[in-house]
Amino acid sequence: MNIFGTDGVRGRANEEPMTATTLTEFGIVVGSLFLPETSRGKVIIGKDTRLSGYLIESAITAGLASAGMDSILVGPMPTPAISMLTKDTNADLGIMISASHNPFEDNGIKLFGPDGYKLTDEMESKIENMMNQNCSTLLASPRDLGRAFRLEEADKKYIEYLKKTMPKGKSLKGLKVVLDCANGSAYRIAPLVLRELGAKVTCLADNPDGLNINSKCGALDTKLMQETVCDEGAHIGIALDGDADRLIMADEKGEIIDGDQILATIAQAWKTNGKLLENKVIGTVMSNLGLEQFLNSIGVDLVRVQVGDRFVVEKMRSVGCNLGGEQSGHTIISDYSVTGDGILAALQVLSIITESDNPTSKSCRLFRSRPQIQKNVSYSSKRTIMDNKIREIVEEFEKMIGDKGRLLVRKSGTEPVIRVMAEGEDREIVSKVVDNVAKALENII
C-alpha cells in the first residue's frame, strides 16, 4: 500500500487510507519500528481541530499500544510544537494528525523522528513495505502492551519556547495585530503568545467546531484578515493555516505579504546583523524570480529545491544554512526549529518591524514580485507527466518566455492534479503560456 505523499499521509477521513482499520495497522508498524530494545517506547501525539481527529487518534493509539508503545496525547497543538516536544521530551517518535490547509473532510499524519525532523523517504518506504506484510508478528505480549496518557500543560511549554525565540527584553507593546487562527490547532496558543509579549490582538477564526477549520479563513483565504487590518487600523495581519506550520501576512494597507516576502525580510535583517549562515536561503522551484533577484542584490544566493518543506529542510541541513521556506508560507528558521513554524516566523517579522521606523508595507515588501500564474489540470492516470510529447510542449513555450522567466510543470504530491506555473516580466505572455500548456495537457490526458 502506497500511503505517503509529499508531506506524510493524507486523504479523506474514513476512506482509505484514513480508516480506523488501516490506521491501527499503521500504528502497529510505526510502533514496532521505533520501539526501543531495552525500554518501553514513548510517542507524542498531537492533532488539529478536525472532527475526524478523534477517530484517527484512537486508532493510531490502539495500534501503538498493540506494538508495546506508550502514547502521550497532547490534544490540539501546532505541527511544529509536536516536532519540538518530541525532541524535548526524549520521545521515540512524534505524530501529528492534520491535513494542514485542506478542508475538514480530509485528514493526515505527519511523523517526526526522535531528533524532531520529519522521516526520510527511506523510512517511509520501509513503513509502506511492512504494511503490505502480516503485522501479527509485530504484536506485543499482554504484559508488554502500551498505555496512553494525557500530557497536561504541553501548550505552556510550547508558548515559553516561542517567547524565548524573541531577542532578550524585546516587547511587542504598542503593536496592533490582526490574527487569523484558521479555526485550527493554534487557536489558543497564538493569541496567548502575542498578548504575553505585549501586542494588542484582534482574533479571527478562533472558535473551532470540528468542521470549520480553514473554512473562509486562514492562510489560504485571507480576505477577512486583510479587511479587518484596514478596519481596525492594525499595523499587521497574521494568517496561519490549520496546523500553524504556514504563515501569510498583510501590511497596514491590507496587502498580502507572502512567504517569499517573509523570507526576504528575515534574510535582509539577518544578513545585516551577521546571523545568516553561508549567505544562502533555501527556496523551491515555486519561489518568485523577484525574490531570487533581490537576494542576489544583497549578496545572498537562493538555492531551489522541489516543492515541500521537508525538501527545504533537507537542503538546509546539507548546505549548512539557517533560513529557508516556500512561497506558500512555510518558513523554516533552524536556529530555533527544524520544521516550518508559522508563529515563530511571525515573531521574527514582528521583531524586525518594531526595530524600524517604517510601516510594515516598507519593512516587509522588499522586491517586486514577477507575474506568476498557475493552473491545475486534473490527472488520474499512472502515466508519467514528463513523457516526450509533454516535454516538447514545455520546451516550445519556454522559448516564448525567454531567459527572463520560467515555466514549471509538475505533478502535485497532495492532490490528483498537474500544476502548470509560469512567471516572467510580461503578465500577458505568462498568462498565454499557462493557458496554452494547460490546454495541451488536457488534450493529451
Residue 440, CB-side half-sphere exposure with 13 Å CA sphere: 19
Q: Nearest-5° angle of CA 94, CA 100, CA 103?
A: 140
**H helices, E strands: number in the chain:** 14, 19
C-alpha cell at 436: 496554452
**Rg of the Cα atoms in the chain:** 22
The DSSP secondary structure of 353-417, one letter per residue, reads HHT-SS-HHHHS--SPPPPEEEEEEE----S-TT-HHHHHHHHHHHHHHGGG-EEEEEE-SSSSE
Is residue 16 within 8 Å of residue 117, measured between CB atoms? no
Q: Which of 100, 287, 337, 351 is catalytic?
A: 100
For residue 354, which of 236, 231, 232 has the smallest C-alpha distance? 236
The DSSP secondary structure of 152-190, one letter per residue, reads TTHHHHHHHHHHTTSPTT---TT-EEEEE-TTSTTTTHH
- Which ranges in 236-288 belong to alpha helices (H)? 259-273
Contacts of 419 (CB under 8 A, 6+ apart): 374, 375, 376, 408, 409, 410, 411, 412
Contacts of 107 (CB under 8 A, 6+ apart): 10, 11, 13, 18, 50, 52, 53, 56, 97, 98, 99
Is residue 10 within 8 Å of residue 415, measured between CB atoms? no
DSSP letter, residue 266: H
| Residue 186 identity | A
Q: Nearest-5° angle of CA 160, CA 162, CA 167?
A: 105
Active site includes 100? yes
- CA–CA separation, 69 and 72 (whole Å): 10
Q: 3-state class of 122 per DSSP? A: helix
Catalytic residues: 100
